Every structure is written in structure tokens, then in C-alpha cells.
């Protein structure tokens, strides 16, 4: 049984449908990445898993149990932590207070152990517990946001665009950290526009376009498989069947997978 399973989930805002009939699974100990350009529906999917949005149709199963009607706090208690896009730390509060808020659904007994766990992962937090979080750099705030998510001892960590607006060196550090978290047994769903880096650490990926899964599979297949590229996008045959159609399809794959690099990297 998968740890998390979405079956035919549809979500919208008012009358505006966004996700349509999404099927997705997370197996224990995986990093799964959600890819797609701006507005493809990645954040909407993440929010519907953490409970900030309610699906209009479909079901979400955690360990085989339906959770789609549960409140966000109850989903957190059951092991789903959400690190939102844009970090959303409490800028006027100290590091310690931000971390405490992340643990609000856990018992006092767990608190000290969790604090030790996140301080071992992010030694800088230990040194700066009393500092005001808003004075941190973007990368440090992202680390604090991840640490806050980890305070609830999650089974599943939902990470929404952790690389957004962060210096490249720190992005690599955050991606390394995500791999470490998987080694600690945490299952990770990573929504990212930075597809190349996300696929380099993920086990599997789903590519979204306009609220639908356009293709999915093992990360190395998404990056390399000629068969998948040919079947879904015609890209693999672009070298043999020259012409506008195959070039357009190859371009489309690049746009979906590597939106940030299309302007400079046409290879």
C-alpha cells in the first residue's frame, strides 16, 4: 500500500477548476518531484494534500485511510507537514518561536528531541535561537521553514518551491539536505520549477501542465528515456524526423521541464 495516494483528485478555486483527475502515489522513503511551469497547479496539489484546499472530487489516502475531509491540523498530527512556497516564516518572531510553532501539534515530550534533530541538521539555528527570523537571508529563512516543518516529526514533508529566490550555492545545500532527509526515512514531495536539479535527486517525477499530469515516471527516465520522449512528446525522434512538428515538440518538453533555462540554453 502506498504511503500516500491521490485518486482522481480535482481541485479548483470557486468556479475555476485547476487540477483535474489527478492520480498520484508516494511510496515510503521516496523523493517524488512535481514539475511544471508557473501556474501549472503544483502549489494547488500540495495545498490539497496538507488540507489548505479541499478537493471537489476524488480521494486522498494516507496509509490507506481517507484524509481529504480532515482539517490541516489533523493531517499534520497524522504526519503530513507542509513547507509552503515563499517560506512564510514568522518574520517578527525568534528562531526558537518559529520552531515551537512547528511543533504545536506534537507532545511536549517530543519537543526537545525534535529540537535536537533540527539543530543537528542546521547547526546555524542552534547558534541563533534568539535572533529575529526576519533578519535571516532568504536561504537561511528557507532552512528555518524546513526545520519548522520537521518539528512535527512528519512522515511526509511537502516542500513547495524551496529553491525559489535563493542563491545557487544555498540551493545546492538545500537539495543535499533533502537527500539527507530521505536517508532519515522521511518521504518527500517536492514541487519545483528547477526541474533539472529536482530530477537529479528525486526517485520519480510528475510533470504538470494546466492542472493535468502530462507525463510521469522514474527521474532518469524523464530526463533520458528516448522511449518516453517519443511516446509523449516526439522528442526522441526529432533527430530522425526533422521538421517543424518535432522541433516544436522538443521545444515544448524543454519549456515544461526547464522553463528557467529555455531563454539561454537551447541545446
Under the rule (CB under 6 A), what is the footprint of ligand ATP? 13, 16, 18, 36, 38-44, 85, 161, 193
Residues, the chain, total?
A: 267
CB of 182 to ligand ATP, least distance (A): 22
Residues 6+ apart with CB under 8 A from 100: 111, 151
Q: Which is nearer to ligand ATP, 20 or 152 (CB)?
A: 20
Nearer to ligand ATP, 43 or 219 (CB): 43
Using the minimum distance from each CB to ligand ATP, give the nearer residue, 53 or 103. 53
Pairing type for strands 31-35 and 57-62 reads unpaired
Q: Quick one: cell of 142?
A: 528557507
**Burial class of 140 by CB neighbour count within 10 A (0 to 12, 13 to 18, 19+):** buried
CB of 157 to ligand ATP, least distance (A): 17
Which C-beta is closer to ligand ATP: that of 103 or that of 166? 166
Listed in sequence order, the residues at least 6 apart from 2 whose beta carbon sits closer than 8 Å to its beta carbon are 25, 26, 27, 61
Let me know if 138 is exposed, middle or buried by CB neighbors in 10 A (0-12, 13-18, 19+).
Answer: middle
* Minimum distance of ligand ATP from residue 257's CB (angstroms): 13
Per DSSP, the three-state class of 140 is helix
Minimum CB–partner distance for residue 265 and ligand ATP (Å):
20
C-alpha cell at 196: 533539472
Minimum gap (Å) between residue 100 Cβ and ligand ATP: 28
**What Cα–Cα distance (Å) separates residue 53 from each residue in 46, 146, 159, 160?**
9, 21, 16, 15
- Min dist CB 18 to ligand ATP, Å, is 4
- Select 11 or 150, whichever has its Cβ closest to ligand ATP: 11
Residue 236 beta carbon to ligand ATP: minimum distance, rounded to whole angstroms? 26
Structure letter (DSSP) for residue 56: S
Mode of pairing for the β-strands spanning 4-13 and 57-62 = antiparallel
Indicate the residue among 15 and 130 with the shorter CB distance to ligand ATP.
15
What Å distances lie between residue 201 and 34, 56, 204, CA to CA? 12, 32, 9
Closer of 5 and 161 to ligand ATP (Cβ): 161
Amino acid at each position: 500500500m502506498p504511503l500516500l495516494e491521490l485518486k482522481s483528485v480535482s481541485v479548483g478555486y470557486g468556479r475555476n477548476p485547476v487540477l483535474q483527475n489527478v492520480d498520484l502515489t508516494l511510496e515510503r522513503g521516496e523523493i517524488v518531484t512535481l514539475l511544471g511551469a508557473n501556474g501549472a497547479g503544483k502549489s494547488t496539489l500540495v495545498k490539497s494534500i496538507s488540507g489548505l484546499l479541499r478537493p471537489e472530487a476524488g480521494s486522498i489516502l494516507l496509509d490507506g485511510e481517507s484524509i481529504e475531509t480532515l482539517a490541516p491540523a489533523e493531517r499534520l498530527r497524522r504526519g503530513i507537514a507542509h513547507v509552503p512556497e515563499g517560506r512564510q516564516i514568522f518574520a517578527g518572531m525568534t528562531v526558537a518561536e518559529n520552531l515551537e510553532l512547528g511543533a504545536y501539534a506534537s507532545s511536549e515530550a517530543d519537543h526537545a528531541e525534535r529540537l535536537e534533530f533540527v539543530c543537528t541538521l542546521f547547526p546555524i539555528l542552534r547558534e541563533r535561537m534568539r535572533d529575529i527570523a526576519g533578519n535571516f537571508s532568504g536561504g537561511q529563512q528557507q532552512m528555518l521553514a524546513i526545520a519548522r516543518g520537521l518539528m512535527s516529526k512528519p512522515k511526509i514533508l511537502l516542500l513547495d518551491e524551496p529553491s525559489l529566490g535563493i542563491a545557487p550555492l544555498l540551493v545546492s545545500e538545500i537539495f543535499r539536505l533533502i537527500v539527507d532527509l530521505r536517508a532519515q526515512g522521511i518521504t518527500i514531495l517536492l514541487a519545483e520549477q528547477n526541474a533539472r536539479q529536482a530530477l537529479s535527486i528525486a526517485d520519480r517525477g510528475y510533470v504538470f501542465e494546466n492542472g493535468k499530469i502530462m507525463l510521469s515516471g522514474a527521474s532518469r527516465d524523464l530526463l533520458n528515456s528516448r522511449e518516453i520522449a517519443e511516446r509523449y512528446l516526439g522528442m526522441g525522434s526529432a533527430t530522425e524526423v526533422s521538421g517543424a512538428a518535432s522541433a516544436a515538440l522538443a521545444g515544448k518538453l524543454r519549456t515544461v521541464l526547464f522553463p528557467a533555462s529555455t531563454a539561454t540554453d537551447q541545446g
